[in-house]
Amino acid sequence: MIAVAIDGPAGAGKSTLARRLAKHKGFIYVDTGALYRAVGLKMLRNNVSCDNLKAVEELLASTELDIRFVEGEQVVMLDNENVNGLIRTPEVSMMASDCSALPIVRAFLLDMQRNLAKRNSVVMDGRDIGTVVLPDAKVKIFLTASPLARAKRRCNELLEKGMTVELTEVLKDIEQRDYNDSHRDIAPLKQAEDAALVDTTELDLDGSFELLLKTVDALAEEK
């Protein structure tokens, strides 16, 4: 089994590029951020705050979260509901960032993520895959781009889904998530010492994929 761990900040294109890489390699794609988003969605639906740890614990105890793969694509099932189309809004993004700082939430999802990598060759992306979830991954990538480039990409993504968004607000959310993710006490966002940096600020989607693929192949050959 081979594990490719891709970390990076919000809006860096991790999910899009990791999914494409997994399909190219014939691996299973695991979007760990989607798992945190699903938890964040349920917290929003139930008006549960991250400050109320007892309520969070009770919510997790009643949560059925699963990943299914349909033709190689990941489908996130929250309490038997396909929530793939509901977890990419700015509100869910912020709640996912907040709840991901809670040890109880991270512990709830950690075993699920590791077991997937034990059973399959995977491309797994998130914030702490190379540093915490899969520290022994054969290939580690830190994928990033400037905050403005990431905000523009996220705006385009949301506009294509028919949502009304403002670049300034999306950029503000991106910068706030960057701060939250890199300053949290538990598993903060950072580049693993043995991870290769892939910066896609000046690249389009195809260029970004070519750079990622070239870097992954080079690392795999080294190891």
Give the CATH number of the domain where residue 76 resides. 3.40.50.300
- Residue 120: which pLDDT band, with cuts at 50, 70 and 90? confident
- Residue 69: which pLDDT band, with cuts at 50, 70 and 90? confident
Mean pLDDT in residue range 143-164: 91
Give pTM, 2 decimals.
Answer: 0.77
| Domain-located, residue 62 | yes
End-to-end CA distance of the chain: 14
| Domain-located, residue 189 | yes
Q: Tokens in use for 201?
A: 């600020």
Q: How many domains does the chain have?
A: 1
Domain that holds residue 167: 3-218
| Domain-located, residue 87 | yes
| Domain-located, residue 223 | no
CB 133 within 8 A of CB 7: no
> What is the pLDDT, as a whole number, of residue 223?
63
